[in-house]
């Protein structure tokens, strides 16, 4: 086995679990060798593990498929963390001095370690994000070298339910999959699709998912707030299924084909323009379907706007709102978000695949791979696969076949000649050698004819 340099990443999503094998080359290209996914809506709820055994089985199947398609052994994987319990909590650490002291990096590191010791009941600290440092009455992002008598370190700690990683670790252990590292999926996605300029100017990234909607806010190139809302496009599907009394599969198809977000003030049609949609039970009014979709979409967008307002950065987000996720394709959702966010600029982000030049095997469809999964792949640094070198890439191994040896004619008996008949003996030997060569040619020809008969049949004239 030899290290291949390829990374393996797995995304635990509410609608599907996805795995990928690939890497980011030095020239910026994403090279993908294999992709596999399995539906997970029955055992992943709101981005968190609901059924450990089914999740472990799904992980095993995905890893086996990745190994089978790449002909490599997966030694470890990067796993993305998300889910409804993930959010940020502010914290601060204080230091006061009798005389002015110069702030050093070791002092900041010491304050950072104290912040990491913060205990949250039923929550686990996943990642601390330093914000600013308050030196007396001055806020500074990098205070190293500044003289002060007091310093306050401000942090935004990303936390989640203590059961999030515990259950995932149990699933991965049952699937006999080693974890290279747990990555925060929302931050990996933001790093992949947002530019440094946008994060410095101030922006919001909204990821509309199936069971969750994730909101991440940046200002001055620092993550300021992160919240995962336990509501997504699947709630629209469930509303349609409940109110129209149909199966969720049919409701999902109805949402995809006819779902549209229309503001109540614009939702006016004359009686003569009424349009119906045929379902498995009975025809339904298309306007009624749009009202159901719009009501739930307005609730989701209202929650997003509430998070932006509570962050305190509402008026500082110059670059506006960036939208991604499968539910963002819902017609009218972008207009609703722009109206709700007070005409703040709202744009769809370019997907990770288009942001980086692709070099991809023909059987991998880029449309199947979500932005989050690709961002996890790009964030992974350590090789996760070992290439099998037993066969050195050969498809078949043939044993050498020895051809039938020609029959040797018996050596002529040597007869002693008298000294006076030396010339006669020489001529006789030449004749016998000539006969021997003719016999060998005849045997070789016989062997060739025999081989032709085997390959092409009796009487074949093939060359």
pLDDT tens for 348-388 read 987 776 666 555 544 466 666 788 999 999 999 899 988 87
**In whole angstroms, how far apart are CA 135 and each of 115, 157, 249?**
18, 21, 58
The owner of tokens 């043939």 is 398
Asked if residue 51 has pLDDT above 90, the reply is yes
Is there a domain that residue 234 lies in? Answer: yes
Residue 139 placed within a domain: no
Residues 233 and 331 placed together within one structural domain of the fold: yes
Tokens at residue 433, please? 């050698």
Structure confidence at residue 81 (pLDDT) = 94
Q: What is the reported pTM?
A: 0.79
Residue of 437 and 38 predicted with greater confidence: 38
382 with 413, same domain: the answer is no
Q: What local confidence, expressed as pLDDT, does residue 276 receive?
A: 87
Do both 177 and 311 map to the same domain?
Answer: no
Report the pLDDT value the prediction gives residue 213, as an integer from 0 to 100.
95
| pLDDT bucket at 405, cuts 50 / 70 / 90 | low
Give a yes or no: residue 262 inside a domain.
yes
DSSP string of 111-153, one letter each residue: HHHHHHT---TTEEEEEEEEEEEEETTEEES--TT-EEEEEEE
Q: Is 360 found in the same domain as 304?
A: no
Tell me the C-alpha distance between 366 and 24, whole Å.
Answer: 15
Count of domains forming the chain:
3
Same domain, 189 and 201: no
Per-residue pLDDT, averaged over 204-224, amounts to: 95
* pLDDT category of residue 415 using cuts at 50, 70 and 90: very low
| Pair (200, 185) in one structural domain | no
Residue 297 and residue 209 share a domain: yes
Range of 460's domain? Answer: 405-425+433-463
pLDDT tens-digit readout, 142-157: 999 999 999 999 999 9
**What pLDDT is stored for residue 441 in this prediction?**
52
Inside any domain, residue 118: no
Residue 116 lies in a domain: no
SS3 content of the chain, % helix, strand, coil (to 5): 40, 30, 30
Whether 288 and 416 map to the same domain: the answer is: no
Q: What is the CATH number of the domain that holds 300?
A: 3.30.420.40
Q: What is the mean pLDDT of residues 62-90?
A: 94
Same domain, 237 and 379: no
* Average pLDDT of the residues of the chain: 83
pLDDT tier at 23, thresholds 50, 70, 90: confident
Question: How many CA atoms does the CB half-sphere of 204 hold within 13 Å?
Answer: 30
Within-domain flag for 100: no
309 and 357 together in one domain? no
**Mean pLDDT (whole number) for 48-64:** 95
Residues 187 and 204 in one domain: no
CA distance 43 to 53: 9
Instruction: Specify whether 275 is located in the same domain as 379.
Output: no
Residue whose C-alpha is closest to residue 325's, from 312, 316, 314, 334:
334
State which of 348, 373, 396 marks the end of a domain: 348
């Amino acid at each position: 086995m030899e290290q291949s340099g390829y990374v393996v990443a797995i995304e635990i999503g509410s609608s599907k679990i996805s795995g990928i094998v690939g890497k980011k080359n030095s020239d910026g290209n994403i090279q993908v060798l294999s992709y596999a996914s399995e539906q997970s809506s029955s055992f992943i709820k709101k981005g968190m593990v609901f059924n450990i055994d089914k999740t472990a089985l799904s992980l095993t199947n995905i890893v086996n498929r990745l190994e089978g398609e790449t002909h490599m052994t997966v030694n470890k994987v990067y796993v993305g963390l998300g889910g409804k319990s993930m959010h940020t909590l502010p914290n601060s650490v204080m230091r006061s001095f009798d005389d002015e002291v110069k702030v050093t990096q070791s002092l900041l590191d010491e304050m950072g370690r104290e912040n990491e010791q913060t205990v949250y009941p039923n929550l686990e600290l996943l990642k601390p994000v330093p914000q600013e440092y308050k030196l007396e009455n001055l806020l500074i992002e990098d205070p190293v070298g500044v003289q002060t008598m007091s310093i306050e370190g401000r942090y935004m700690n990303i936390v989640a339910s203590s059961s999030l990683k515990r259950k995932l670790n149990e699933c991965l252990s049952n699937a006999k999959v080693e974890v290279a590292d747990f990555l925060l999926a929302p931050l990996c996605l933001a790093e992949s699709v947002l530019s440094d300029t946008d994060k410095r100017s101030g922006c919001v990234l909204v990821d509309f998912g199936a069971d969750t909607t994730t909101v991440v806010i940046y200002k001055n190139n620092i993550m300021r707030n992160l919240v995962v809302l336990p509501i997504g496009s699947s709630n629209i599907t469930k509303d349609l299924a409940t109110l129209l009394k149909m199966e969720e599969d049919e409701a999902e198809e109805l949402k995809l084909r006819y779902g549209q977000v229309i503001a109540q003030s614009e939702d006016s049609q004359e009686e003569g323009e009424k349009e119906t949609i045929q379902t498995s039970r009975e025809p339904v009014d298309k306007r009624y379907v749009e009202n159901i979709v719009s009501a739930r979409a307005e609730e989701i967008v209202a929650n997003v706007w509430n998070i932006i307002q509570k962050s305190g950065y509402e008026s500082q987000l110059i670059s506006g709102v960036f939208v991604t996720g499968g539910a963002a394709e819902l017609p009218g959702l972008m207009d609703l978000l722009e109206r709700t966010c007070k005409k703040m600029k709202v744009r769809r982000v370019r997907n990770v695949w288009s942001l980086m030049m692709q070099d991809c095997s023909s059987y991998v469809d880029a449309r199947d791979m979500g932005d989050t999964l690709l961002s996890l792949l790009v964030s992974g640094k350590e090789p996760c696969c070992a290439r099998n070198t037993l066969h050195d890439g050969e498809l078949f191994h043939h044993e050498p076949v020895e051809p039938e040896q020609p029959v040797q004619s018996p050596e002529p008996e040597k007869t002693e000649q008298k000294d006076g008949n030396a010339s006669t003996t020489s001529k006789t030997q030449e004749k016998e050698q000539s006969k021997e060569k003719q016999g060998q040619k005849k045997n070789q020809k016989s062997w060739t004819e025999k081989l032709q008969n085997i390959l092409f049949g009796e009487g074949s004239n093939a060359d």
